[in-house]
Amino acid sequence: MVLPECGGANEARNPPSPRVTSPPVPLGVVLFDLDGTLWESPLRIDEVRRELGLPADGRSLLEQIGSLAPEERARALAALQAHEQRALACGHLKPGTHELLHFLRVQGIRTVLVTNNSRQTAAEVLARTALQFDLVRTRDDGPAKPDPRAFLEPLELLGVKTREAAVVGDSHLDLRAAWAAGIGQVVLVAPQAWMRAHFPGKARFYEVATLEEARRVLAALLNSRA
């Protein structure tokens, strides 16, 4: 398979498809985002942001909340948790989720869930869906995306180097965190158009429309490293 690889925010979304040029380093871990990537949630962060009186400036909602005074921050986090809990009832797995995770498990590739959701919200999603990961990282466990430590700390726990990791997400936050962490293999699943203005200019990534396409990209990466 020849992979379509995209460049920075100002480059065409469908450039000519270069061949994979990854170094022959085994892929050891894939780090997954949750909402918008594996889990379709009715939660609308823009609505939460408006309710809290915060601007849409490209920062993550958690970055914005973190800049508030302590009492305001506590109220904002409580409001976000309430929105997450209400959205759980109507959320569902995106097609291809189980198949993608099974494919990686069969290949002996470990998987990590890195989500900006709370630990409670992530646990309820996992309980409902029977998804299994080698490690789960939430906003309650340390810095959240786009902070690179959201990826670096789980990799350190697993004893995996960044060059042995790949990221599958759907947003500029996933791409920014991966870029800052030095993770070169990133797959974005149907990122929204407004996010492109916030992509790191020199970041390279593979853009796909579905998780089945993401599985094919990861399979090609594995074959290129064999």
Q: What is the pLDDT of residue 101?
A: 98
DSSP string of the chain? -PPPEE-STTS-SS---PPP---S----EEEE--BTTTEE----HHHHHHHHT---SSS-HHHHHHTS-HHHHHHHHHHHHHHHHHHHTT-EEPTTHHHHHHHHHHTT-EEEEE-SS-HHHHHHHHHHHT---SEEE-GGGSPPTTSTHHHHHHHHHHT--GGGEEEEESSHHHHHHHHHHT--EEEEES--GGGGGGS-TT--EEEESSHHHHHHHHHHHHHHH-
Q: How many domains does the chain have?
A: 2
Question: Do 17 and 34 share a structural domain?
Answer: yes
Question: Do 164 and 59 share a structural domain?
Answer: no
Last residue of a domain, one of 55, 73, 88: 88
Question: Do 170 and 69 share a structural domain?
Answer: no
Question: Do 60 and 141 share a structural domain?
Answer: no
CA distance 223 to 226: 5
- Domain membership of residue 160 as a residue range: 5-40+92-225
Question: Do 153 and 80 share a structural domain?
Answer: no
Q: Which residue has the tokens 């109507």?
A: 90
Question: Do 76 and 159 share a structural domain?
Answer: no
Residue from 60, 35, 68, 1 nearest 169 by CA: 35
Question: Do 205 and 186 share a structural domain?
Answer: yes
Query: pLDDT > 90: what percent of the chain?
Result: 77
Question: Do 206 and 161 share a structural domain?
Answer: yes
Question: Do 102 and 179 share a structural domain?
Answer: yes
Per-residue model confidence as pLDDT tens digits over 21-43:
444 468 999 999 999 999 999 88
When pLDDT is averaged across residues 165-184 and rounded to a whole number, the result is 97
Question: Do 66 and 97 share a structural domain?
Answer: no
Per-residue model confidence as pLDDT tens digits over 6-22:
554 333 333 333 334 44
Last residue of a domain, one of 26, 60, 88: 88
Question: Do 192 and 84 share a structural domain?
Answer: no
Q: Is-catalytic flag, 174?
A: no
Question: Do 125 and 194 share a structural domain?
Answer: yes
When pLDDT is averaged across residues 67-85 and rounded to a whole number, the result is 92
- Sign (positive/negative) of CA torsion 133, 149, 3, 199? positive
Q: What is the pLDDT of residue 225?
A: 65
Q: Residues 6 or more apart from 79 whose CB is under 8 A from it? A: 48, 51, 52
